[in-house]
Structure 1
Amino acid sequence: MDWLRQADWLTRERVRGYALLLALAGLGLLVNSYLKAMGPAGTDFLAFWGAGHVTAAGDPKAAYDLAVQQGVQTGTGSEGWFAFVNPPPFLFVLAPFGSLPFPLAWIAWVAITWGLWAWVSIRAFPRLWPLVVAYPGALIAAGHAQTGLLTGALLVLAAHELGKRPALSGAAIGVLVIKPHLAVLAPFWLATGGKWRAFLAAGIAAIGLLALSWLAFGGETLAAYSTSWRASEALMEGINPDFLLRMTTFYAQARLWAGDGVAVALAVISGFAALAVAMLAWRRFGYDARATGAAVLAATALASPYLFNYDLPFLIFPTLWLVAQGLEHGFRPYEKLGLVLLYLAPYATRALAFPLGINLMPLAALALLALVWTRGGVRKAGTSPST
């Protein structure tokens, strides 16, 4: 069984070849996603385009008006429509896309956000660029034209730059005010590592964006945003298998199978475990910023009860960090095979969720975190937390 234990057959050349084939297949799937998005079924991107469209027209508070959004979005020919629930600073990003025709805006959004995510990820792992280009976790975000590529780029940037440019790293975290539950571990990660420049930059960026959105869009838009919470609450009420199977949290899967009580208990356990990782990572990895970033980003997939497969492009960082560790220090038994499965997991678990009746991504995220954490003994101590 050495072919599984060591997987020596998985050479650099073969990995590059497989990555190329996977990228080509992904491109074909993306074209199919675009054609479906232009049909009557609609697409998640309608919510972002609709919000950007009314903002570009000078009425940003209408981004949160469900009746207006229904009219704007179904005006594209879609029979379905989606509530916009992101905070007002996100409207700065969406307004330029809302000024474009919907079919062109979809292409522009996917191309720009994927390009940004790929550029940041390749900067972090230049030798592993074929694995970035072919990453299935990015494909599902692109196919939905969702926010995961943009937020993933910010998280990867934060993890990659923290040791060299802490202010830039912190600013990237602050911009995550557009989807704040993805940054819930960041304050604890930065504070326990003594990364105060990054901590301050994150706060300035977040508060600054909120203030700018208030100045640009007015207090009425901020007030209207609070009404969008009811739409999110309505989605979470009851047991909707179609909705819960799209989620990647222990909370969602437990609600589907065991009810609210067990779901809440697992959410609390998962959240506190992720928090413990963020607070102990510096000690575990000898103040190696990239190593702690790999651990914290892996833990981020377990921190929130509200997360979807299309939110997971940021997992490219812990996944490729493990690959880089294996190339430098040697792969552990079965680690190559495990990394192949985890590399495919964000897309594969979503594709299998409905046939299986359960989304297995929470278990994959836990396995990824375990692999990162157990690599801690390999790293040498770095700088002190005060640097």
Structure 2
Amino acid sequence: MTVAALGSLPAAQPWRRRARVALVAALFDLALYNLYQVTRSPTRWPDFAFFYAFARAGVIEGYRRVYDPVVQQHWIQQLFPGAPFYVVVNPPPFSWVLAPLALLPFGLALWIWTLSMIAALAISSQLLAPPGRFLRLVYLGLWLAFLPAYLVFVSAPLAPLVILSLALAWKFVRDDHQVAAGLVLAVGLLKPTLAILVPVALLAAGYRRTFMAWLAAALAAVGASCLVLGPDGIRAYIALTLDFAANAYYLRWSLVPIVGGGVAWAVAVVAITLAIIWLAWRTRQQGLEITISIGVMGSLLINHHMTPGDLMMLLLPVWLLLRAGGSLVRDGALALAWVGGWLSLIFPVLVIVVASATPAAIFVDSLRSGRRLRSGPSELAREAAR
């Protein structure tokens, strides 16, 4: 029995009340554990500290030098003496977005950014939640109880902004504002690896205007970035990105430890991308929620490197699939996605398991749906019989 079913059956059923109470109690208990993590977190230098130094370097020294590791380290030590050195390899538009905050004192900028990321997750959960107070509470609880999500309070990573962009894109497409959806999807370019296959999946499912709007925004962003960086800046960006991608810590949540790097990883990426495109086309009649979920999981599968905060991306397919409903197979994958995502900070390989199992379950469900359609009258036959 799914959460959606708990929200739709008559409230008078005693078992339903008990199930509701048990679910809310479990989520509340896990949310308290996250609160404990927040209060006991050893994180002295949040992600935003390095974002802030990166943005300050761009504003003051210019973007042609911002991907020089010497420049980044200089600004980190100047602003945060004694801090470790973590490079920032996000594309230039990310620095442009942060530029207004870089002009503020760090403490104020950190509060603004952190509250904005918290609000992004809260808004996303309520935007995707079906009607009803219980279901809205559950969607909120699925976020607050999700172990990787505690990082938004202590580290302020970027992933919540990408999640919000996908939730808004879902809303705009449903309201037949496909161009607006494509432009909002372009926010994902601030960290392209998190959702790079979502626009492609939408194209395969028939949302051409959304894809074209996203592509136009992407080309504009790439062109502006190249102009701002210049040849030397582009070379520095590529070199810094390759160096970052070689860090074994960030490879733990990727396919690289399983298939290896180089050609083997590239072949796996091509195969997965083609499979995601085909699956999005095959399931195009099953709903927008399915298409976006396939795109997100595919993006995580081909992601060469991730940071712990990126694991919050797993919340989006859970919310979408829960809203869409489905068979026991898909519901099982949904539960696995949340539980596996919760444990992925401890057991990184679970990201690959979850990101593989969800599209597989959607495929199996599409086979079952296809058999049901073939065994019954077609839509055209039913229309003709009326």
Q: Structure 2-normalised TM-score? A: 0.77
For the residues of structure 2 that align with 1:344 and 1:115, how far apart are their CA atoms?
Answer: 23
Match for residue 324 of structure 1? 323
Q: Secondary structure at the match of 1:350?
A: coil
Q: Counterparts of 1:309 and 1:369 in 2: how far apart (Å)?
A: 22
Match of 1:146 in 2: 157
Distance 2:224 2:347 in 1: 42
Q: Is 1:17 aligned to 2:25, yes or no?
A: yes
Q: Aligned runs of 1:1-387 on 2, under 5 Å?
A: 11-33=19-41, 36-38=42-44, 42-57=45-60, 59-75=62-78, 76-126=80-130, 127=135, 128-140=139-151, 142-164=153-175, 165-210=177-222, 219-220=228-229, 223-237=232-246, 241-245=248-252, 248-255=253-260, 260=261, 264-265=263-264, 268-286=267-285, 288-326=287-325, 332=328, 335=331, 339-353=334-348, 359-376=349-366, 377=368
| Aligned equivalents of 1:11, 1:80: Cα separation in 2 | 47
Whether the 8 Å contact between 1:50 and 1:63 is mirrored in structure 2 is no
> Taking structure 1 as reference, are residues 193 and 295 closer, same or farther at Cα in structure 2, changes over 3 Å only?
same
Counterpart CA distance in 1 for 2:337 and 2:191 is: 24
1:211 and 1:228, CA in 2 relative to 1: closer, same or farther beyond 3 A? closer
Shift of 1:297: 1.8
CA deviation map 1:121-166 (0-9, x unaligned): 3201243333234333433455443222222222333344333232
8 Å CA contact 1:84–1:228 kept in 2: the answer is: no
Counterpart in 2 of 1:356? none
Partner AA of 1:69 in structure 2 = Q
Q: 1:316 to 1:161 in 2, by over 3 A?
A: farther
Deviation (angstroms), 1:273: 2.5
Between the two proteins, the alignment pairs up a number of residues equal to 350
In the alignment, structure 1 segments of 5+ residues that lack a partner are 3-7, 354-358
* RMSD (Å), alpha carbons: 3.4
Amino acid in structure 1 at the alignment position of 2:318 = T
Q: How many Å apart are 1:180 and its aligned residue?
A: 2.4
Alignment partners' CA distance in 2, 1:266 and 1:225: 24
Kept in 2, the 8 Å contact 1:182–1:300? The answer is yes
Indicate conservation of the 8 Å contact 2:289/2:321, yes or no: no
CA pair 333-65 structure 1, distance change in 2 beyond 3 A: closer
Displacement of 1:278 after TM fit? 2.7
Q: Provide the secondary structure at the position in 2 that maps to 1:286.
A: coil
Return the offset for 1:29: 1.9
CA distance in 1, matches of 2:201, 2:334: 25
Helix, strand or coil for the counterpart of 1:154? helix
- Tell me, in whole angstroms, the C-alpha distance in 1 between the residues paired with 2:40 and 2:124: 26
Please give the per-residue CA displacement for 1:27-63, whole angstroms capped at 9, x wherever unaligned.
Answer: 3323444xx443xxx4433331111223344634443
The 8 Å contact of residues 46 and 82 in structure 1, kept in 2 or not, is answered as no
Residues 118, 373 of structure 1: alpha-carbon distance in 2 compared, 3 angstrom cutoff: farther
SS at match of 1:27: helix
Kept after mapping to 2: 8 A contact 1:193/1:287: no
**Secondary structure in structure 2 of the residue aligned to 1:86:** coil
Whole-Å separation in 2 of the counterparts to 1:85 and 1:333:
39
Structure 2 residue runs without a partner (length 5+)? 2-14, 374-378, 380-386
Partners in 1 of 2:203 and 2:250 — Cα distance?
Answer: 35
